[in-house]
Homo-oligomer: A and B are copies of this chain.
């Protein structure tokens, strides 16, 4: 049955709640209201107040409480109402959750769900894609599904993972993306990228909603005789370097694409790895397409200009192919 990206996440959480009585959800307005995006809709009725915990507006305490509960053997799924508010919980994420195992061998199996990404007229504080901060934080895992299938498989894997996982969900995909997903229980491994589209002339390495921008660009390129491979990272930390390098070694051209701002973004890390480890395979510079280094504007024409699109990808792709 065609399933939305949102419903896929909901199903994944639901099945894990059924499977393991230690799994519970905690966040603002996730109970009666079912969450700002309705990802937890119906869960309060099905699982009760004990397992669907509405909290005060306290991001730091939400993550902190999740950490504490995980230390006691539970498996909390904490929701940030918007990824933007994870900044309010930053210390708990990067200093408490990320470092417990290393420091004193205490696993912190929490999932922090963070609806991120733009294109929904959210303005500066409801559109951000802050994944790179966490990719620079050893001890965390960072996941961002770009398909409904992966959304379900990865949320389940994240819940079962014994390390803290920051799980970014792309708000613009929640309801717009609808596709067939496998029935019942399955997981998608954390730490494995996947070839989203096979090609031989150019690799576009991306994740999240930008997959579809890449796809659109790839279709145009196809007509221009360029065969584009798209790598969907899916997990941003730990990085599946192997899949990236294999693709670039095959195609000899790479574009890193993400909707987070350019400087210090995830693309920089991948570019750096390619430049160090696949240098001799490269036939052209490594290009990046990302949002410009500005806050995210509200007004539609500015917002549209902000986000990467197929044209911006095509421009770089043509440059690389002509190189």
Chain A residues near B (Cβ < 8 Å): 84-85, 87-88, 90-91, 94-95, 98-99, 102-103, 124-125, 132-133, 135-139, 237, 239, 256, 260-261, 263-269, 271-272, 274-277, 279-280, 282, 284-288, 292-295, 297
Contact = CB atoms under 8 A, between A and B. Distances in A.
A22 to B, nearest CB: 26
Most central of A136, A264, A271, A294 by chain B CB within 10 Å: A264
Nearest to A85: B91
28 contacts: A84-B95, A87-B94, A88-B90, A90-B90, A95-B124, A99-B295, A102-B294, A102-B297, A132-B264, A133-B133, A135-B264, A136-B260, A138-B263, A138-B294, A138-B295, A239-B263, A263-B269, A264-B269, A268-B268, A268-B269, A268-B272, A271-B275, A272-B275, A275-B275, A276-B285, A276-B288, A279-B284, A279-B285
A271 B265 contact: no
Contacts of A268: 264, 268-269, 271-272
Contacts of A124: 95, 99, 102-103
Given A135-B263, A264-B135, A264-B136, A272 B286 contact: yes
Nearest to A134: B264
A50 to B, nearest CB: 30
Contacts of A102: 124, 294-295, 297
B95 A125 contact: yes
A142 to B, nearest CB: 10
A84 B272 CA distance: 26
Contact of A272 (B90, B94, B272): B272
A135 B133 CA distance: 10
Given A90-B90, A268-B268, A285 B295 contact: no
A158 to B, nearest CB: 19
A286 B293 contact: no
Contacts of A237: 263
Nearest to A267: B272
A277 B267 CA distance: 15
A100 to B, nearest CB: 9
B264 A275 contact: no
A140 to B, nearest CB: 10
Which of A103, A125, A260, A280 neighbours the largest number of chain B CB atoms within 10 Å of its CB?
A103
A137 B84 CA distance: 13
A64 to B, nearest CB: 12
Given A124-B99, A263-B237, A279 B276 contact: no
Given A103-B295, A287-B276, A138 B261 contact: yes
A293 B138 contact: yes
A90 B128 CA distance: 15
Contact of A279 (B256, B286, B297): B286
